[in-house]
Amino acid sequence: MADIANLRTSAETGLSALFESARKGFASEDKISREEAFRFFEAVGLPSRRVEAFKYTDLRAAMQEASAPAEAPSLEAARAAVAGATGFAGLDAVRLTFVNGHLVRELSDLDRVPAGVTVTPLNDALSAGHALLADLAPVVQARDNPIYQLNTAFLADGAVIAVEAGAKVGQPLHLRFVGTQGEAFSTATRVLVSLADEAELTLFESHEGPDGIAYQPNDAVDVTVGARAALRHTRLNEEGDKAIALSTISVRLADAAHLETVNLVTGAVLSRHQIYLHFAGEAVTVVVNGAAMLGDGMLADSTLLADHAAVGGVSREMFKTVIDGEATGVFQGKIIVRQAAQKTDGKMKSDCLLLSDAGQMMNKPELEIFADDVACGHGATCGAPDDDLLFYLMARGLPRPVAESLLVQAFVGEAVEAVTHEGARDALIGAIEGWLAARG
Amino acid sequence: MLEIKNLVVRIEDKQILNGLNLTVNDGEVAAIMGPNGSGKSTLSYVIAGKEDYEVLDGEILLDGQNILEMGADERAAAGVFLAFQYPLEIPGVGTMTFLKACLNAQRRARGESELSTPDFIRKVNGAADTLEINKEMLKRALNVGFSGGEKKRMEILQMALLEPKFCVLDETDSGLDIDALRIVSEGVNALRAQGRSFLVITHYQRLLNYIVPDVVHVMSQGRIVKSGGKELALELEASGYAEYRANEAA
């Protein structure tokens, strides 16, 4: 064990060098504890399969080299990248555009933010000492996570979105992340979303980038939801086919707050989406769904931690994974119910549809329950499309690929149906149909 | 219309059909009756193209064309329709989406143009009214939460929409109460026409009071062992299948 320092991988050494050079550019007085975060990361290194939380997603093996943090792109390059972006395109929304992890103000709707909402670019918020920065890292467990710490250490850009008390914002906000062609790069963005009491917001988040480049986005969204406030969040990962895409959403919920978050993965050779929830207030309701459509060589990891710390929380988690070719799906879900969190009602489910013999699905559900009056459960299933259902559809004239696609859509559709915003739901269904069409 | 010659079929190691011969003429309603395990459902699945069965010998000719070479979807497009004994529930697939996909897939396979949405809806509504199908059911996922009777009516609705040439009704009467039996039978009778034939598989004569067959076949041990007019069904109701079981024993 004493020799751990000698076993640093090329990527880890690279990250240290990159941090040394990046730190010179960071303002020393801002509220981000980059140094502390990087030292934390350096001490644990890139997590390998020996680390329980990364048992099925060996980042140490997958990330062979560390890519340098992306410079802010030229406006011309940013425009070119955004021109081809399709995620939630066509939906009426106020857009914040990030290209290679940098907020491009010229391509964002900062001047037409809806009433009741203020959007401050993260770097402005840092230099001004924005009061809401106190809400960064709202869930304590995320602070022990190397991906999140790496995001903190290299944090380059982002935004602070504040919704004032009682504001029911009708127009969605869209965080649009796009990558450019060319050299591989890494990003570290943080968007802080703060909903005051009784506020409501619909948030879209799309991630796209070029194929053929091993770029490494690391995006984090920190959220606080006030009493009786509601956030509806729909996320679409359509990253390029060589990307290693790491992401974290951390949400702290006050009394009777509501969260709906649905993530669809069709992109990235390796993705890990981490969801940290802290049920701080009573009678919080949460819907967390995920769907992943995986082709040959892909790995998609959804890792969830739901910490019920107060009475009467209700959580519903449904994850659907479709695996084609030699791909791997990972679901890790942990529900903690603290002693104070009586009457908690938590249900977690992970289902996998295997379209090939070579695919594999790893499920790790965990329940840690310290209260005695709770209803918590989890379940996992894995199987091929049902032959009898296929025959029924084919006997009505549907060719096998069409029948199979219909069953796949029905399977993942259950997770996507939870999206309240009709346009966002249709966008996810469109992405699923696109995946099926490309599969042929 | 349909001609089955010397059909020999096996599933796993068990031979179910043992040289079955059967002819169903154009516009004819033929009933097949027989004791449990005589191979009736196997026959329906083999006609529709289920892949679990191994055809060892024989052929099934639909208007002279051997359909055994075709996949289940191709047979459907060629005009074969199987009303399932146990229609399957398909969560997540909307009934209307399913109906439209099937109809248009068959039309495409036959080189016909797809139906426009208004034409499609008109057609579905018309058929649903005839079968006393609640429009709310059409908005739900296919067969999910439907009662046994509703599922069977949905099968007949599909038959009415797809306008097949050759319809196999596999124990459509099972699980139906008298009212549902009447509605389903009326739906079937309304579809009786020149150019369309039916093979009605049933255990009981009761269904044949509603769907009056032109000819009745008795099946036993994977063969047709007796054929006659509709009065044969009444005889069977009176005497049971003992005579045929005796043959089995011998």
- Give residue B174's domain range: 2-90+164-249
pLDDT digits (tens, 9 = 90+) for B100-144: 999 999 999 889 999 999 999 999 999 998 888 888 889 888 998
Residue numbers in A near B41 (CB within 8 A): none
The band of B247, judged by pLDDT with boundaries at 50, 70 and 90, is low
Interface test with B, best of A322, A349, A351, A391 (most B CBs within 10 A): A391
The band of A381, judged by pLDDT with boundaries at 50, 70 and 90, is very high
Helix (H, G, I), strand (E, B) or coil at A410: helix
Query: Per the domain annotation, does B100 fall within a domain?
Result: no
Q: Do B92 and A399 touch (CB under 8 A)?
A: no
Q: What is the mean pLDDT of chain A?
A: 94
Helix (H, G, I), strand (E, B) or coil at A228: coil
If one compares B244 and A83, the residue with the highest pLDDT of the two is: A83
Query: Per the domain annotation, does A278 fall within a domain?
Result: yes
pLDDT digits (tens, 9 = 90+) for A147-193: 999 999 999 999 999 999 999 999 999 999 999 988 999 999 999 99
A370 touches chain B (CB under 8 A): no
Q: How high is the pLDDT of residue B91?
A: 82
Domain count along chain A: 1
Q: Point out the residue among B77, B105, B141 whose CB comes nearest to the CB of A402.
A: B105
Residue numbers in B near A397 (CB within 8 A): 73, 76-77, 102-103, 105-106, 109, 162
**What is the ipTM, given to two decimal places?**
0.94
- pLDDT of A6 strictly over 60: no
Q: Do A391 and B87 touch (CB under 8 A)?
A: no
B230-249 mean pLDDT? 78
The band of A123, judged by pLDDT with boundaries at 50, 70 and 90, is very high
Query: Per the domain annotation, does A305 fall within a domain?
Result: yes
Interface test with A, best of B11, B42, B90 (most A CBs within 10 A): B90
Size of interface A-B (CB pairs under 8 A): 76
Query: Per the domain annotation, does A241 fall within a domain?
Result: yes
Q: Do B93 and A392 touch (CB under 8 A)?
A: no
Query: Are the C-beta atoms of residues A79 and A107 closer than 8 Å to each other?
Result: yes
- pLDDT of B246 strictly over 70: no
- pLDDT of A24 strictly over 60: yes
Residue numbers in B near A400 (CB within 8 A): 71, 73
Q: Which of A39, A228, A252, A227 is nearest to A141 (CA)?
A: A252
B12 touches chain A (CB under 8 A): no
Residue burial A105-132, b: 16+ Cβ < 10 Å; e: rest:
eebbbeeebbebbebbbbbebbeeebeb
pLDDT digits (tens, 9 = 90+) for A281-329: 999 999 999 999 999 999 999 999 999 999 999 999 999 999 999 999 9
Query: Per the domain annotation, does B57 fall within a domain?
Result: yes
Query: Per the domain annotation, does A52 fall within a domain?
Result: no
Query: Per the domain annotation, does B17 fall within a domain?
Result: yes
pLDDT digits (tens, 9 = 90+) for B68-92: 999 999 999 999 999 999 999 888 8
pLDDT digits (tens, 9 = 90+) for B158-184: 999 999 999 999 999 888 888 889 988
Q: What is the pTM of this model?
A: 0.88
Q: Which helix (H) or strand (E) holds B239?
A: helix B231-239
B28-33 mean pLDDT? 95
A426 touches chain B (CB under 8 A): no
Q: How high is the pLDDT of residue B250?
A: 42
Beta bridge partners, A139, equal none
- Give residue A358's domain range: 70-385
Q: How high is the pLDDT of residue B240?
A: 83
The band of A29, judged by pLDDT with boundaries at 50, 70 and 90, is low
Residue numbers in A near B109 (CB within 8 A): 397, 399
Query: Per the domain annotation, does A249 fall within a domain?
Result: yes
Query: Are the C-beta atoms of residues B15 and B221 closer than 8 Å to each other?
Result: no
Percentage of residues of chain A with pLDDT beyond 70 = 98
Query: Per the domain annotation, does B115 fall within a domain?
Result: no
Q: How far is CA A40 from the centre of its chain?
A: 22
Q: How high is the pLDDT of residue A60?
A: 94
Interface test with B, best of A396, A409, A417, A425 (most B CBs within 10 A): A396
Q: Point out the residue among A389, A398, A414 whose CB comes nearest to the CB of B105.
A: A398
Locate tokens 């009586």: which residue?
A: A342
A234-252 mean pLDDT? 98
Q: Which two tokens stand for residue A265?
A: 């993965």
Domain count along chain B: 1
Q: How high is the pLDDT of residue B241?
A: 83
B34 touches chain A (CB under 8 A): no
Q: Point out the residue among A389, A397, A406 whose CB comes nearest to the CB of B73.
A: A397
- Distance CA(B112)–CA(A436), nearest Å, equals 25
The band of B235, judged by pLDDT with boundaries at 50, 70 and 90, is confident
Q: Do A394 and B109 touch (CB under 8 A)?
A: no
Q: How high is the pLDDT of residue B242?
A: 80
B92 touches chain A (CB under 8 A): yes
Q: Do B87 and A410 touch (CB under 8 A)?
A: no
A75-101 mean pLDDT? 96
Q: Do B48 and A395 touch (CB under 8 A)?
A: yes
A43-62 mean pLDDT? 94
The band of B35, judged by pLDDT with boundaries at 50, 70 and 90, is confident
Which chain A residue has the Cα nearest residue B49? A395
Q: Point out the residue among A395, A406, A410 whose CB comes nearest to the CB of B76.
A: A395
Interface test with A, best of B100, B102, B108, B155 (most A CBs within 10 A): B102
Interface test with B, best of A351, A393, A433 (most B CBs within 10 A): A393
The band of A28, judged by pLDDT with boundaries at 50, 70 and 90, is low
Residue numbers in A near B101 (CB within 8 A): 398, 402, 406
Query: Per the domain annotation, does A141 fall within a domain?
Result: yes
Q: What is the DSSP letter of A43?
A: H
- pLDDT of A5 strictly over 60: no
- Distance CA(A129)–CA(A146), nearest Å, equals 26
- Distance CA(A100)–CA(A78), nearest Å, equals 9
Q: Point out the residue among B51, B71, B158 whose CB comes nearest to the CB of A396.
A: B158
Q: How high is the pLDDT of residue B204?
A: 84
Residue numbers in A near B146 (CB within 8 A): none
CATH number for position B196: 3.40.50.300
Which chain A residue has the Cα nearest residue B78? A397
Query: Are the C-beta atoms of residues A382 and A352 closer than 8 Å to each other?
Result: yes
Which chain A residue has the Cα nearest residue B141? A410
